[in-house]
Chain A
């Protein structure tokens, strides 16, 4: 199916409620978790490729060595929670962001920031049991963001709150990276 991942993502987003507008339900949980699975696939793929390309050293190598395992665990958790409903891994193309340390750092910051905003934006749309699980993930993403920003000598926590993003905003961020390849 040409453009499968992007099209599916777009349709999914179009059906999304705005923050805290619609009542949580099991069906909505499933849509949100599948959306989360998309960006967890991207993170996991990004760090796995960066690790295997072996162009990072020092603090960045330590970071990628740890974080790749976390993102893999998040993917596994979401796939397990979704069962047969889980979306397939999209085709990904990270260009030289997984081999150039400066580009890797910038991409890692952008990905982590997007994912934090994505989870925060869906918190009130989830049923409570699923929210409890998502909250265990989002703070780890926030730790990743704080960590990579500290390595980059950027303020790890520049704001008093992490502003949420809607699914549509997150999808736009993801599309902007160019990491998702259609087909």
Chain B
């Protein structure tokens, strides 16, 4: 698998073609309205009641989700900082960056000391090339939705499940938005399939965006020293 293949996300064969058709329209004019309401659910992730009783398997799932959120948030944050993604895509890095950073913050708080460290990233120029940026955003958001979906039935804690499923649908909105901007059908099938961890990890590895891996054990229960 070469870099940026990103699994079967190109299976409709449309992404590359669509990206080539990108116009300089005024899409994304709802720019700058990075409204982050609905923080209550994410706050619920961070309550000691949720974290203290967290099952080892839930900790592993949260750390897996955290790694994906680190990846997404770093991607959009870097794109925003570099400022090379403009035009109808101008609102994307700040808007999605803010949301993904909120996900990172909430999941880290839920995990406490059990949280994996933020890896180092090298986006290899993708964050400063409009076409590559959009193609990668489509892939990341489709992947994020598929990753959460596969884990949702495995989550033991009802509170964590409620939070995760409410992040899951936001990732799907992002996927539809990015696909719309790319001119690819935003909702290709009546049912979205999940992707298991092994498949998601292989896809992420294929991007070579993560250049150092977190070392914290991801299957331990949270430990609190305070």
A163 CB-CB contact with B under 8 Å:
yes
**B-contact 0/1 string along A103-132, CB 8 Å cutoff:** 000000000000010011001100011011
Question: Given the complex of chains A and B, what is the CA–CA distance between A164 and B163 in angstroms?
Answer: 9
**A-contact 0/1 string along B150-178, CB 8 Å cutoff:** 00111000110111011111111111110
Binding site for A on B (CB under 8 A): 27, 29-30, 33, 35-42, 95-96, 98-99, 102-103, 106, 145, 149, 152-154, 158-159, 161-163, 165-177, 180-181, 185-187, 189-194
Question: Given the complex of chains A and B, what is the CA–CA distance between A136 and B149 in angstroms?
Answer: 7
| Nearest opposing residue in chain A for B160, CB measure | A124
Q: Is the CB of B176 within 8 A of A132?
A: no
Q: Is the CB of A139 within 8 A of B168?
A: yes
| Nearest opposing residue in chain A for B33, CB measure | A155
Grouping DSSP codes into helix (H, G, I), strand (E, B) and loop, the A interface class, with mixed when no group exceeds half, is helix
Q: Is the CB of A131 within 8 A of B173?
A: no
Q: Is the CB of B169 within 8 A of A139?
A: yes
Q: Is the CB of A163 within 8 A of B40?
A: yes
Of B41, B102, B176, which is within 8 A of A147 by CB? B176
A66 CB-CB contact with B under 8 Å:
yes
Question: Given the complex of chains A and B, what is the CA–CA distance between A153 and B21 in angstroms?
Answer: 20
| Nearest opposing residue in chain A for B27, CB measure | A150
Q: Is the CB of A157 within 8 A of B190?
A: no
A57 CB-CB contact with B under 8 Å:
no
A180 CB-CB contact with B under 8 Å:
no
| Nearest opposing residue in chain B for A133, CB measure | B191
Give me 19 other A-B pairs in contact (C-beta within 8 A), A143-B173, A145-B176, A149-B173 excluded. A19-B158, A66-B185, A69-B190, A123-B161, A132-B152, A135-B168, A135-B192, A140-B187, A142-B145, A144-B187, A146-B174, A151-B180, A155-B33, A156-B173, A158-B33, A159-B35, A160-B102, A160-B167, A161-B42
